[in-house]
Chain A
Amino acid sequence: ELKVEQNPLFLSMQEGKNYTIYCNYSTTSDRLYWYRQDPGKSLESLFVLLSNGAVKQEGRLMASLDTKARLSTLHITAAVHDLSATYFCAVDMYSGGGADGLTFGKGTHLIIQP
Chain B
Amino acid sequence: EPEVTQTPSHQVTQMGQEVILRCVPISNHLYFYWYRQILGQKVEFLVSFYNNEISEKSEIFDDQFSVERPDGSNFTLKIRSTKLEDSAMYFCASSVSRPTEAFFGQGTRLTVV
Contacts and interface: CB of A to CB of B under 8 A. Distances in A.
A45 interface: yes
A88 B56 contact: no
B48 A104 contact: no
A69 interface: no
Interface string A82-114: 000000101010110001111111110000000
Nearest to B47: A101
B105 A101 contact: no
A104 B101 contact: no
Interface of A: 31, 33, 40-43, 45, 48, 88, 90, 92, 94-95, 99-107
Contacts of A105: 42
B33 A104 contact: no
Given A42-B107, A45-B101, A102-B35, 6 more contacts: A40-B109, A43-B104, A101-B47, A102-B102, A103-B45, A104-B42
Interface of B: 33, 35, 41-45, 47-48, 55-56, 58, 91, 98-99, 101-107, 109
B104 A100 contact: no
Main secondary structure of the interface of A (DSSP, over half): mixed
Contacts of B98: 94, 100
Contacts of B47: 101
Nearest to A48: B101
A104 B104 contact: no
